[in-house]
């Protein structure tokens, strides 16, 4: 797909597009807090060939990442935006209750917290089926305006020859050491609210520094928030809106230049 442009490549990315409407930028009013939302379950129905992965946007900061071997990972798993499909492994972050669960489903085989309940940084470097998952700890602001060290993690999922990075509830720019630990990224899942996480100029610096070919924005609450981000991003990146909340991707199908693809939340 290289050199054909992302609009052409999108046809290979998006399955079962018929019946899905394009994302409406005006569909939801902006709210004044990190919201509590309930979404249905996105399930990738088609079999994945080796060398391909599926990514579905459940909503808020939760994605499903599905491997060709049938492993299912859910990011920022919580009690509000929860897929009905039982994941094999979940990752969570601490900043807000819409990013973690105190009582995840006990049938979930692997629960990876982005913070260490015993103090210090969390450390994950595990193979779950055919997905390798590791984390890079970052800090968060606490409710008193101070810093809670190592309370967020960037989780990196490696499968099908792809590196998929979820920034979690990132609150600060990344240092050269952070970027070194993150390493090469093919698909970046990035919060773009511009307030509860990192501000928009700071987040754009992070996006520019990571230089992923495919960028999937998340954590936007309505048209005002999204348009503020788009006002900045349109000057630097090609912007696409997917008709489907689920995409299939392989290394060969990555765009030849960085592109942002907005997936609609999956509602039922």
Question: Does residue 44 have a pLDDT over 80?
Answer: no
Average pLDDT over residues 227-237: 91
State how far the Cα of 163 lies from the Cα of 132, in Å rounded to an integer.
9
Q: Fill in the DSSP letter of residue 34.
A: S
Taking Cα atoms as reference points, which of 49, 42, 41, 84 lies closest to residue 70? 49
> Rounded distance, CA 73 to CA 221, Å?
23
Domains for the chain: give ranges and CATH numbers: 6-18+51-262 (3.60.15.10)
Residue with tokens 């260490």: 116
pTM given for the model: 0.83
pLDDT digits (tens, 9 = 90+) for 156-214: 999 999 999 999 999 999 999 999 999 999 999 999 987 788 899 999 999 999 999 99
Dist. CA 191–CA 61, nearest whole Å = 7
- Quick one: CA dihedral 199, 200, 201, 203, positive or negative? positive
pLDDT over 70 at 22, yes or no: no
- Give φ, ψ of 147 to 5 degrees: -115, 130
């Amino acid at each position: 797909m290289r050199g054909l442009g992302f609009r052409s490549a999108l046809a290979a990315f998006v399955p079962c597009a018929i019946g899905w409407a394009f994302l409406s930028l005006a569909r939801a009013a902006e709210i004044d807090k990190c919201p509590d939302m309930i979404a249905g379950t996105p399930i990738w129905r088609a079999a994945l060939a080796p060398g391909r992965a599926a990514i579905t946007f459940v909503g808020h900061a939760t994605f499903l990442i599905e491997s060709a071997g049938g492993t299912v990972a859910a990011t920022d798993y919580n009690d509000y935006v929860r897929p009905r499909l039982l994941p094999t492994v979940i990752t969570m972050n601490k900043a807000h209750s819409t990013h973690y669960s105190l009582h995840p489903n006990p049938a979930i085989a692997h629960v990876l917290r982005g913070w260490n309940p015993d103090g210090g940084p969390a450390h994950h470097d595990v193979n779950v089926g055919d997905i390798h998952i590791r984390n890079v700890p970052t800090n968060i602001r606490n409710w008193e305006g101070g810093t809670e060290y190592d309370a967020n993690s960037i989780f990196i999922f490696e499968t099908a020859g792809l590196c998929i990075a979820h920034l979690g509830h990132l609150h600060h720019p990344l240092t050269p050491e952070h970027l070194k630990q993150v390493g090469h990224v093919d698909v970046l899942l990035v919060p773009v609210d511009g307030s509860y996480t990192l501000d928009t100029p700071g987040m754009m610096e992070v996006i520019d520094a990571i230089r992923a070919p495919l960028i999937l924005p998340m954590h936007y609450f309505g048209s005002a928030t999204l348009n503020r981000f788009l006002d900045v991003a349109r000057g630097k990146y090609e912007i696409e809106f997917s008709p489907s909340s689920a995409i299939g991707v392989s290394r060969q199908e990555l765009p030849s230049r960085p592109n942002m693809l907005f997936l609609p939340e999956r509602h039922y």
